[in-house]
Amino acid sequence: MKKQSLIILYLFLNLSCAVAGILGPSNYDDCILDGVKSARTDLAVRAVYQSCRNKFPDSSNSNIIKNCSVVWTGREFIKGTPENPLNFQKFEIANSIVVGYLPKDSPQNANYVSDNINVIKKLCPYF
């Protein structure tokens, strides 16, 4: 009788784990929460965010809180917001946490963001 109980318990636990693994997170927020639990480094957290964005592309964009700002100083991007935002044009990098500011008098054809994307990623590590 004891052996049968142990076998049933073992099967139940294996089945529960299998179902949880198959179902996984059902939305972007759950995906982030599940993934970040086991992340040990900033790089691992970034990988979780990217993986969850890929798994839930429609919902991830609407749920992202834009919580990292960068400003173009004329030579480089720095982290923060401008003292006078009215003199800047705001931009967002799609599917990321980044809001950026470029001076209104910046040439429209300049590639400030794409040319400095690695700098922005360093300033906003969960990009």
Q: What is the pLDDT of residues 7-47, one digit of tens each?
A: 564 545 444 444 445 678 888 788 888 888 888 877 777 77
Amino acid letter, residue 47: A
The answer on 83 and 110 residing in a single domain is: yes
In which order are the strands placed within the sheet that holds 68-72?
77-79, 68-72, 98-103, 88-92
Q: What is the pTM of this model?
A: 0.51
The answer on 72 and 57 residing in a single domain is: no
Which residue range(s) make up the domain with 45? 25-63
pLDDT for position 32 = 83
Query: Domain count of the chain?
Result: 2
CB 48 within 8 A of CB 39: yes
Taking alpha carbons only, the member of 113, 119, 78 closest to residue 93 is 113
Task: Please indicate, yes or no, if residue 12 is contained in any of the structural domains.
Answer: no
The answer on 42 and 79 residing in a single domain is: no
pLDDT for position 92 = 86
Which residues have a Cβ under 8 Å from the Cβ of 100 and sit 6 or more positions away? 69, 70, 71, 72, 77, 90, 91, 92, 93, 113, 120
Residue range 64-122, pLDDT digits in tens: 566 899 999 989 999 999 999 899 999 888 777 899 999 998 887 678 888 999 999 89
Task: Please indicate, yes or no, if residue 85 is contained in any of the structural domains.
Answer: yes
